[in-house]
């Protein structure tokens, strides 16, 4: 009777390739001859190896499922019990069963993507508020014009490494509890590239790129602020071997303004006026981002009061419109009066009935320790 390979691996007939591979790995760890030297176990290991050799190959599996001989259909093999190239199945799957995913093989490319770069750009407040266009000088790696990124001197080219024969790795056979195990490592002569450059380009020393200063025009959108980063795709460092360039990030640094303080998209400033102007009202000229305007100080304005100028702030970065300009009023009380000024103020106080004002007391803001004390006392 023909061997039921599905039963040997303990999987269903409709099992997926991943399920078949997972079952084989589990049994291989338990039944490998170097782990379990029992003769019966060795025969069992040969069975699961033969079953996996058939079920892991789509062509053999199709022939087997149709009732044919999968080994004769594939042109023979090492037999169910052999440990040759055919009977041992996929060697990388055996190694994978013990050590995990098999490593990727083959030479690595000399061409790699370049790194990202960043440059800081100082902006005045009005430039950040309304946007601008800046010309930047950027020092980055560019493709070497002498070798066009190849790394070899003009008239020469890279040659196949004679140590690894272009594979980029060399193999070594060692003994372990598994028996003879072949391991691979990057070729020390070509560093894993598979090729060597006998005559490097004198301009880039074989790297395929050189450093150069270049000019770059950057459009700054309206509404940027401190820390905003603008990404310029493909404007960063060119990669080794003339590989694709990384990205360039322009980080915004907003310079302090002598009058305005920015809070989000709103601007704030403080105007100091004498108490007479606060009482009688006045108009104060203010140079805004849009030009000269007059701030209307109404009669009776109190110290600490704010006057909003709507739509005079910074443009919203996302969406239309602008923030506001908030003018904070500070009323200055004179501390030096001549006799005539003092007499006039006393007359005013008498007319207003404020010669001996009682004042109006309100609860003040508690300090930290007072608030903690009240919290512990349950107030």
Instruction: Write the CATH number for 337.
Output: 2.60.260.20
With 80 as the cut, is the pLDDT of residue 376 above it? Answer: no
Mean predicted confidence (pLDDT) in 143-149: 91
Could you tell me if 268 and 309 are in contact, meaning their C-beta atoms sit under 8 angstroms apart? no
Supply the range of the domain harboring residue 51.
5-99
With 80 as the cut, is the pLDDT of residue 98 above it? Answer: no
| Shared-domain flag, residues 223 and 148 | yes
With 70 as the cut, is the pLDDT of residue 101 above it? Answer: no
| Shared-domain flag, residues 123 and 248 | yes
| Shared-domain flag, residues 222 and 272 | no
| Shared-domain flag, residues 12 and 37 | yes
Instruction: State what percent of residues in the chain have pLDDT above 90.
Output: 47
pLDDT, residue 100, reads 44
Residue 363 lies in a domain: no
Residue 367 lies in a domain: no
CB-facing half-sphere around the CA of 275: CA atoms within 13 A:
5
CA dist 120 and 358 (Å) reads: 58
Which DSSP string corresponds to 184-204? EEE-TTTTTSSEE-SSB-TTT
Cα separations in angstroms, 73 against 59, 60, 218, 362: 9, 7, 66, 100
Residue 11 lies in a domain: yes
Nearest alpha carbon to residue 234 among 219, 225, 244: 244
With 70 as the cut, is the pLDDT of residue 358 above it? Answer: no
pLDDT in tens, 259-276: 999 999 999 999 999 999
Burial of 168 per CB tally in 10 Å (0-12, 13-18, 19+): buried
Cα separations in angstroms, 252 against 57, 121, 178, 221, 228: 58, 5, 60, 11, 5
Cα separations in angstroms, 8 against 35, 46, 49, 51, 56: 19, 10, 10, 7, 13
Q: How confident is the model at residue 60 (pLDDT cuts 50, 70, 90)?
A: confident
Residue 186 lies in a domain: no
Could you tell me if 115 and 171 are in contact, meaning their C-beta atoms sit under 8 angstroms apart? no
With 70 as the cut, is the pLDDT of residue 1 above it? Answer: no
| Shared-domain flag, residues 141 and 49 | no
For strands 117-123 and 248-254, give the pairing: parallel
Which pTM does this prediction carry? 0.61
Residue 168 lies in a domain: no
- Measured in Å, how far apart are the chain's first and last C-alpha atoms? 91
The H or E element containing residue 224 is none
pLDDT, residue 268, reads 97
Q: Which two tokens stand for residue 122?
A: 């100082």
| Shared-domain flag, residues 42 and 57 | yes
Nearest alpha carbon to residue 3 among 80, 95, 110: 80
> Which of 254, 286, 301 finishes a domain?
254
CA dist 27 and 172 (Å) reads: 27
Collapse the DSSP code of 97 into the 3-class scheme (helix H, G, I; strand E, B; otherwise coil) and give the result. helix
CA dist 188 and 14 (Å) reads: 46
Nearest alpha carbon to residue 296 among 273, 322, 314: 273
Q: How confident is the model at residue 83 (pLDDT cuts 50, 70, 90)?
A: very low
pLDDT, residue 299, reads 95
Mean predicted confidence (pLDDT) in 300-311: 95
CA dist 268 and 312 (Å) reads: 10
Residue 75 lies in a domain: yes
pLDDT, residue 77, reads 41
| Shared-domain flag, residues 317 and 335 | yes
| Shared-domain flag, residues 121 and 231 | yes
CA dist 246 and 267 (Å) reads: 37
Could you tell me if 93 and 44 are in contact, meaning their C-beta atoms sit under 8 angstroms apart? no
Mean predicted confidence (pLDDT) in 299-325: 94
Q: What are phi and psi of 376, to 5 degrees?
A: -70, -30
| Shared-domain flag, residues 217 and 343 | no
In total, how many domains does the chain have? 3
Mean predicted confidence (pLDDT) in 160-177: 81
């Amino acid at each position: 009777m023909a061997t039921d390979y599905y039963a040997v691996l303990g999987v269903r007939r409709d099992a997926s390739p991943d399920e078949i591979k997972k079952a084989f790995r589990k049994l291989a760890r338990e039944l490998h001859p170097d782990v379990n030297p029992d003769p019966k176990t060795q025969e069992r290991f040969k069975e699961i190896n033969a079953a996996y050799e058939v079920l892991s190959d789509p062509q053999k599996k199709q022939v087997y499922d149709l009732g044919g001989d999968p080994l004769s259909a594939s042109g023979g093999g090492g037999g169910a019990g052999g440990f040759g190239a055919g009977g041992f199945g996929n060697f990388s799957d055996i190694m994978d069963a013990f050590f995990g995913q098999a490593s990727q093989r083959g030479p690595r490319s000399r061409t790699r993507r370049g790194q990202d770069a960043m440059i800081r750009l100082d902006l005045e407040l009005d430039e950040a508020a309304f946007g601008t266009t800046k010309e930047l000088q950027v020092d980055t790696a560019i493709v070497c014009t002498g070798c066009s990124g190849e790394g070899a001197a003009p008239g020469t080219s890279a040659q196949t490494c004679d140590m690894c024969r272009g594979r980029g790795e060399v193999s070594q056979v060692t003994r372990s509890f598994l028996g003879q195990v072949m391991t691979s490592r990057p070729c020390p002569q070509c560093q894993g590239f598979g090729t060597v450059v006998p005559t490097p380009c004198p301009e880039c020393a074989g790297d395929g790129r050189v450093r150069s200063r270049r000019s770059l025009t950057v459009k700054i959108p309206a509404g940027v602020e401190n820390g905003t980063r603008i990404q310029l795709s493909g404007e960063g460092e060119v990669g080794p071997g003339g590989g694709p360039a990384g990205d360039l990030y322009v980080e915004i640094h907003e310079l302090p303004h002598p009058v305005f303080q920015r809070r989000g998209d709103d601007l704030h400033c403080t105007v100091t006026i004498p108490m007479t102007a606060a009482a009688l009202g006045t108009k104060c000229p203010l140079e805004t981002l849009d030009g000269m305007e007059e701030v209307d100080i109404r009669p009776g304005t109190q110290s600490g009061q704010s006057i909003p100028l709507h739509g005079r702030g910074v443009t919203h970065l996302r969406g239309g419109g602008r923030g506001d300009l908030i003018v904070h009023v500070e009323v200055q009380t004179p501390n030096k009066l001549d006799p005539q000024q003092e007499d006039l103020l006393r007359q005013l106080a008498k007319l207003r009935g404020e010669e001996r004002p009682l004042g109006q007391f309100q609860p003040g803001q508690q300090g930290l320790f007072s608030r903690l004390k009240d919290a512990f006392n349950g107030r």
